[in-house]
């Protein structure tokens, strides 16, 4: 069985994001870029499934320009067998990205697709759900535990009320949450081995996907600065201060 894992190039989560002075976007000049943390967890889970003998091959897929090859090589260094770059100079919205992934699925015929539940740059949390609909296969989102059992998978999901466990038939789409696992540390020998692993580049046009976008970002702005806090003597003063500020 093949497992397909989607990964995205994002600003590293440890970096303080800076908005460009004209508000046209985020300043990425000289900024460290990394694999989206949720996608890294998705890849770790795929590798563990393969190491347990429940899969034969793990393939990482990313959409973007040649710069995303750095993140694909990181995925290969973690242990993925192959990498596929969907080459495009455009920023794909979730539906277009799901359609591109669907074309890769038709080529590779995986038994399982694992994605991060969302990307930390746009927080859409839509691609996995849209992909499952296009593929007409079951989905399990926000997974904190995945157990494969032959042609099915038991997935524990994090929901508002706590945890729920559902069973889905494979092939399927699973999106993962933070508490699923702890991604492995990439060692230097693995980075060197990754340079010899295959990385296929497929132009988006070759997949026959039309880029559509109903949304456009017109302006970026940093969060408002937090007001300086004050110390109060007792609960009565706290209540009075809240009243003065119109909060109660």
3-state secondary structure 13-37: CCCCCCECCCCCCECCCCCCEEECH
pLDDT for the residue 211: 81
The pTM assigned to this predicted structure is 0.85
Ordered structural domains, the chain, with CATH? 2-218 (3.40.50.620)
Both structure tokens of 56: 């034969």
Contact 52, 131 (CB under 8 A): no
pLDDT for the residue 104: 96
Of 212, 21, 9, nearest in space to 116 by CA: 9
What would the pLDDT profile of 223-235 be if each residue is shown by its tens digit? 888 878 888 899 9
Query: Which spans in 88-244 are helix H?
Result: 94-108, 127-135, 188-194, 235-244
Q: In Å, what is the CA distance from 176 to each residue of 38, 144, 201, 222?
A: 7, 7, 26, 28
Of 100, 113, 105, nearest in space to 170 by CA: 113
Instruction: Please list the ranges in the chain whose pLDDT falls under 50.
Output: none
pLDDT for the residue 245: 84
- Residues 107-118: b if buried by 16+ CB within 10 A, e if exposed: ebebbbbbbbbb
């Amino acid at each position: 069985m093949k497992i397909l894992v989607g990964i995205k190039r994002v600003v590293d989560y440890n970096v303080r994001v800076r908005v460009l002075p004209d508000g046209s976007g985020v300043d990425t000049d000289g900024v460290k870029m990394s694999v989206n943390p949720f996608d890294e967890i998705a890849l770790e889970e795929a590798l563990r499934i393969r190491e347990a003998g429940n899969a034969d091959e793990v393939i990482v897929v990313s959409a973007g320009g040649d710069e995303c090859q750095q993140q694909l090589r990181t995925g290969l260094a973690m242990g993925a067998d192959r990498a596929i770059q969907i080459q495009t100079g455009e920023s794909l919205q979730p539906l277009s990205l799901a359609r591109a992934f669907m074309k890769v699925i038709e080529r590779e015929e995986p038994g399982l697709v694992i994605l991060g539940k969302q990307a930390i740059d746009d927080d859409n949390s839509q691609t996995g759900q849209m992909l499952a609909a296009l593929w007409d296969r079951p989905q399990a989102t926000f997974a904190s535990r995945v157990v494969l059992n032959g042609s099915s998978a038991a997935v524990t999901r994090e929901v508002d009320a706590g945890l729920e466990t559902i069973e889905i038939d494979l092939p399927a789409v699973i999106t993962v949450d933070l508490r699923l696992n702890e991604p492995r540390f990439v060692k230097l020998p693995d980075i060197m081995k990754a340079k010899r692993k295959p990385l296929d580049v497929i132009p988006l046009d070759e997949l026959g996907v039309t880029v559509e976008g109903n949304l456009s970002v017109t302006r970026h702005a940093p969060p408002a600065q937090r007001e300086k806090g004050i110390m109060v003597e007792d609960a009565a003063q706290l209540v009075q201060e809240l009243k003065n500020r119109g909060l109660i």
